[in-house]
């Protein structure tokens, strides 16, 4: 078993760090709100550091799941950042969804200090983190990935290296692009069923096993019908991710017309006060239109 530091105890990081303890690893955590780190340590029996630099002392692996590019940069190379406390040949695994630019920056900064950096964004939401069944998309040096894979197995069901540094983040962008279109399509289908006087649940029972079926349909249709949107990834975070997708698309010359449109639909949901609703709340926008 390894000595592991986990930086960031949000709705994803908190249970992910807990799974590491259950897998037998020695875990030290850091969170900007120290009381949350204290609560985690009390619940799981691990320890916590007051700063990222303190938390990573002596760690073999450092896992991180924070909010955005700025958060990640601050945790890694800000004042009392993790890179200042990491020993040579330590592996840093970033589970945050961030831009490929900051990934390249931190990969190169780490390499200059003999620190390996693996980008490893996750999919599966809060439920996937709590149940330890996340999909993890990785980029980075093959040897570093192979060493970190066994640690990630504590909370990952599907873990795969897609290529060199940045490939994991680019794959996560593909994931979010696909989800955006799927959720909009499901929202329109359920909205149409409502307007047409159909029983939405009965409709999904028939179509879910066919070509229209998806994870979103299986896991979100009932809460969408019931107008409940506190069950997953927040609209605010989805807009952050789609912004990364759209800016990267401009850089690589990809056309994302549906993604751009759905991003604006999510902006309308935010204006409805739904920034913290889960992403299936796109149907709320349709219902508000009458």
CB atoms within 10 A of CB 135: 17
CB 220 within 8 A of CB 231: yes
Mean pLDDT of the chain, nearest integer: 97
Instruction: Judge if 113 and 216 occupy the same domain.
Output: no
Checking if the pLDDT of 278 tops 80, the result is yes
Which of 134, 164, 194 corresponds to the end of one domain?
164
Instruction: Judge if 16 and 141 occupy the same domain.
Output: yes
What was the pLDDT predicted at 205? 97
Task: Name which of 274, 280, 278 is nearest 221 in CA terms.
Answer: 280
CB 61 within 8 A of CB 82: no
What was the pLDDT predicted at 93? 98
Task: Name which of 208, 211, 119, 130 is nearest 170 in CA terms.
Answer: 119
pLDDT band at 1 (very low <50, low <70, confident <90, very high): confident
CATH number at residue 33: 3.40.50.720
Q: Are strands 122-123 and 134-139 parallel, antiparallel or unpaired?
A: antiparallel
Summarize the confidence of residues 58-73 as an average pLDDT.
Answer: 97
Residues designated catalytic: 172
Number of domains in the chain: 2
Summarize the confidence of residues 68-95 as an average pLDDT.
Answer: 98
- Could you list the beta-strand ranges (E) of the chain: 3-7, 26-30, 47-48, 61-64, 91-94, 116-119, 122-123, 134-139, 156-163
| Model confidence pTM above 0.75 | yes
Question: What is the rounded end-to-end Cα distance, in angstroms, of the chain?
Answer: 57
pLDDT band at 57 (very low <50, low <70, confident <90, very high): very high
Which of 164, 187, 216 corresponds to the end of one domain?
164
CATH number at residue 244: 1.10.1040.10
What's the rounded Cα separation, in Å, for the pair 233 and 182?
A: 15
CB 156 within 8 A of CB 168: no
What was the pLDDT predicted at 290? 76
Domain that residue 30 falls in? 3-164
Over residues 241-262, the pLDDT tens digits come to: 999 999 999 999 999 999 999 9
Cα dist from 197 to 29, 191, 226, 273, 276, whole Å: 52, 10, 15, 28, 30
pLDDT band at 91 (very low <50, low <70, confident <90, very high): very high
pLDDT band at 231 (very low <50, low <70, confident <90, very high): confident
What's the rounded Cα separation, in Å, for the pair 18 and 25?
A: 10
Instruction: Judge if 82 and 157 occupy the same domain.
Output: yes
Checking if the pLDDT of 232 tops 80, the result is no
What's the rounded Cα separation, in Å, for the pair 233 and 128?
A: 11
Summarize the confidence of residues 87-100 as an average pLDDT.
Answer: 97
CB atoms within 10 A of CB 239: 19
How many contiguous H segments (helices) and E segments (strands) does the chain have? Answer: 14, 9
Beta bridge partners of 5: 28, 62
Which of 164, 181, 196 corresponds to the end of one domain?
164
CA atoms within 13 A on the CB side of 13: 26
């Amino acid at each position: 078993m390894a000595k592991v530091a986990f930086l960031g105890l949000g709705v994803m990081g908190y249970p992910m760090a807990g799974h590491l303890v259950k897998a037998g690893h020695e875990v030290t955590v850091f969170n900007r709100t120290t009381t949350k780190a204290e609560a985690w340590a009390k619940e799981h029996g691990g320890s916590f550091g007051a700063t990222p630099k303190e938390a990573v002392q002596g760690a073999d692996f450092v896992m991180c799941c924070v909010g955005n590019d700025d958060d990640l940069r601050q945790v890694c190379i800000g004042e009392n950042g993790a890179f200042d406390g990491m020993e040579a040949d330590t592996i840093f695994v970033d589970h945050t969804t961030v831009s490929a630019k900051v990934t390249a920056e931190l990969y190169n900064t780490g390499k200059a200090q003999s620190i390996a950096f693996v980008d490893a964004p996750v999919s599966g939401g809060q439920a996937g983190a709590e149940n330890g069944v996340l999909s993890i998309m990785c980029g980075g040096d093959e040897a570093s990935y192979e060493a970190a894979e066994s640690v990630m197995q504590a909370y990952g069901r599907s873990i795969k290296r897609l290529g060199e540094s940045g490939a994991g983040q680019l794959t996560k962008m593909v994931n979010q692009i696909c989800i955006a279109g799927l959720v909009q399509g499901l929202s329109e289908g359920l909205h149409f069923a409502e307007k047409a006087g159909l029983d939405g649940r009965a409709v999904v029972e028939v179509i879910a096993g066919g070509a229209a079926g998806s994870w979103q349909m299986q896991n979100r249709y009932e809460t969408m019908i019931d107008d409940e949107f506190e069950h997953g990834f927040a609209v605010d975070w989805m807009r952050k991710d789609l912004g990364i997708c759209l800016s990267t698309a401009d850089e690589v010359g990809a056309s994302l017309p549906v993604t751009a449109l759905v991003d604006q639909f999510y902006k309308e949901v935010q204006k409805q006060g739904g920034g913290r609703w889960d992403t299936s709340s796109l149907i709320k926008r349709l219902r508000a239109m009458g």
